[in-house]
Amino acid sequence: MSNYSDDLNILAVQVTRPVIEKTDLRAMRDAVRAELVGTYKGKRYMIRTYGCQMNEHDTEIMAGLLEVLGYMATTDEALADLILFNTCAVRENAENKVFGEVGRVRSLKQRNPELLIGVCGCMPQEKAVQEKIRTTYPWIDLAFGTHNLHRLPELIQEARASQETVMEVWDKAQVVLDDLPKARKEGVRAWVNIQYGCNKFCTYCIVPYTRGRERSRVLSSVVEEVKGLVELGFKEVTMLGQNVNDYGIDLGDADFADLLRAVGRVDGIERVRFTTSNPWNFTDRIIAAIAETETVCEHIHLPVQSGSNHVLRKMNRGYTSEYYIQLVEKIRAVIPQVALTTDLIVGFPTESEEDFSQTLALVEHLSYDTAYTFIYSPRPGTPAARYEDPIPMEIKKERLNRLMDLQNGISRIHNEKLIGQTVEVMIEGVSRTNVNVLAGRTRTNKIVLLDAPQELIHQTVLAQIDSAHTWTLRGTIVTQQVITA
């Protein structure tokens, strides 16, 4: 898989209204000045999201703020009065895509002169992007970053009154954003922030610059949010952070293992997931907490990036391939059912054919369930962007293809092993390609397509796997008996 859109096969059940959390009523009043509540009744917004799950969740927070202001969601950009691009800076092509789209939607202003176009998220945190907006895209009405998305209501006010781009980007976090209202998509799965930022400074990565230093959310606040989600009917939470296994280090009272156990114990929660964990300090305590907490799913996304120690050192990943392999062996010994997925970068500056073959060997040896594979993209301001990079792009592309071919074959073998087995599937919605087919996920995060009645949407059932493909499984409901309703 070459991108993060692993939801391609599931079309969420038609959302009539997003769910705004009841528990956020107080926060809503705090987040939005009283005189602004409902001001934009009748207006419509659209948010286009790029990037990781954290960005998707930020979109839910901004949608929450906008709904408190009175805005309604639309999927038709011709009807929108506000189009926000929530951007990702992790690779150059993500950035180019956004600028292309921003250029395209400009023409919509001719039909609707009131239309506001905004750019937010990780890209505006980069000085070069701020400059580009000023010089090349002056019709952008508002631009803001990751640390001040709660300022959206005020920024809209300012943008409506101004002829020029209203640009407000904070270099670092100044307020806690935990309690903002969130307009979550209706369904069974919800994102929950547990940690913001990253301290790891891998030499290729822009995230520490766009998201700032690691800040953990206090354990009780996370647990309260999860309890509220269960009350609203959510059954699964994914705890989000760039380095979840560092959770709590800055606070000093609880660690990630404690958090897994505490969230896993919340009454009514069925499945707990987390992303992303770094191999660097994936402790025995964390492994034990996953193994011993029934609700915590047997899926670990453990990005390795490369199989070559030389490349890992240049990436500043802080581990060797031998350490990583030992960690995987330990995890598999304690959690035998575990599904392991990873991220891999090919074509890092000076990566030789020998380095690359070590990546292939590691992938073959560890047999991941899935891998997200990327060609290295130099990011301005990161150390690696200054490294000599003599490898031609054609060779990088060819390496990516070899790696993807290898992994696709391995993914298929993993899936084929499930044929004939009975697995627990939480049904999330209908399949994107056929609305008569339902789609859900196993605890190990594999997508299962089922012929089943629509009443089973949002329920957890047992299904037998009939056939396997590279990305999906096909199954039959074993019994109509629903495990949980």
Which residues sit at the interface with ligand SAH, rule CB under 6 A? 90-91, 204-205, 207, 242-243, 276, 278, 303, 305, 343, 345, 374, 376-377, 379
Task: State which residue, 68 or 88, has the beta carbon closest to ligand SAH.
Answer: 88
Q: Does 122 bind ligand F3S (CB under 6 A)?
A: yes
Are 445 and 424 in contact by the 8 Å Cβ rule? The answer is no
For the CB of residue 254, give the shortest distance to ligand F3S in the complex, in Å.
24
Q: Which is nearer to ligand SAH, 91 or 446 (CB)?
A: 91
What SS3 state is found at 274? Answer: strand
Which of 9, 55, 444, 459 lies at the binding interface for ligand F3S (CB under 6 A)? 55
| 212 contacts ligand F3S (rule: CB under 6 A) | no
Q: Using CB atoms within 10 A of its CB, is residue 390 exposed (0-12), middle (13-18) or buried (19+)?
A: exposed
Residues 177-206 vs ligand F3S: string with x where CB under 6 A?
Answer: -----------------------------x
Stretch of 51-59, 61-69, 369-377, 438-446 contacting ligand F3S, by CB under 6 A: 51-59
Rounded Cα distance between 116 and 139, Å, is 9
- Residue 89 binding: pick among ligand SF4, ligand SAH, ligand F3S, none (C-beta 5-8 Å cut-off by kind): ligand F3S
Nearer to ligand SF4, 139 or 201 (CB): 201
Say which entry of ligand F3S, ligand SAH, ligand SF4, none residue 63 contacts (CB below 5 to 8 A, set by partner kind). none
Residue 52 binds to ligand F3S (criterion: CB under 6 A) = yes
- The residue among 206 and 229 lying less far from ligand F3S, judged by its C-beta, is 206
Does residue 51 interact with ligand F3S by CB under 6 A? yes
CB of 55 to ligand F3S, least distance (A): 4
Nearest 5°: phi and psi at 19? -90, 120
For the chain, the C-alpha Rg in angstroms (whole number) is 22
Q: Which is nearer to ligand F3S, 85 or 234 (CB)?
A: 85
Per DSSP, the residues of 159-180 read HHH-SS-EEE--SS--S--TT-
Which option in ligand F3S, ligand SAH, ligand SF4, none does residue 51 bind, with CB closer than 5 to 8 A by kind? ligand F3S
Distances (CA, A) of 392 to 17, 119, 383, 403: 49, 33, 20, 17
* Residue 88 touches which member of ligand F3S, ligand SAH, ligand SF4, none, C-beta under 5-8 Å by kind: ligand F3S
The candidate with the shortest Cα–Cα distance to 281, out of 319, 250, 251, 335, is 319
Which of ligand SF4, ligand SAH, ligand F3S, none has residue 374 at its interface (CB below 5 to 8 Å by kind)? ligand SAH
Give the residues lining the site for ligand SF4 (CB under 6 A).
Answer: 198, 200-202, 205, 207-208, 242-243, 278
134: left (phi over 0), alpha (psi -120 to 50) or beta: alpha
In whole angstroms, the minimum distance from the beta carbon of 205 to ligand F3S comes to 8
Residue with token string 């919340």: 266
Q: Rounded to an integer, what distance in angstroms lies between the CA atom of residue 147 and that of residue 150?
A: 8
Beta bridge partners of 84: 47, 118
Q: How far apart are CA 274 and CA 328, in angstroms?
A: 17
Least spacing, CB of residue 402 vs ligand SAH, in Å: 17
Q: Which of residues 257 and 345 has its CB atom nearest to ligand SAH in the complex?
A: 345
- The listed partner (ligand F3S, ligand SF4, ligand SAH, none) that binds 182, CB under 5 to 8 Å by sort, is none
Contact call for residues 53 and 275 (beta carbons, < 8 A)? yes
Residue 219 vs residues 225, 264, 290, 294, 330: alpha-carbon distances, Å: 10, 12, 17, 19, 27
One residue of 90, 344, 384, 418 binding ligand F3S per CB under 6 A: 90
Contacts (Cβ under 8 Å, ≥6 apart) of 333: none
Task: List 461's β-bridge partners, or say none.
Answer: 425, 482
Q: Does 423 bind ligand F3S (CB under 6 A)?
A: no
- Nearest C-alpha neighbor of 157 from the set 77, 60, 39: 39
Pairing of strands 142-144, 166-168: parallel
What tokens does 434 get? 């056929």
Q: Rounded CA gap, 188 and 233, in Å?
A: 7
Contact region with ligand F3S (CB under 6 A), list: 46-54, 324-332, 365-373, 477-485: 46-54
* Residue ranges that bind ligand F3S, judged by CB under 6 A: 51-52, 54-55, 88-90, 121-122, 206-207, 210-211
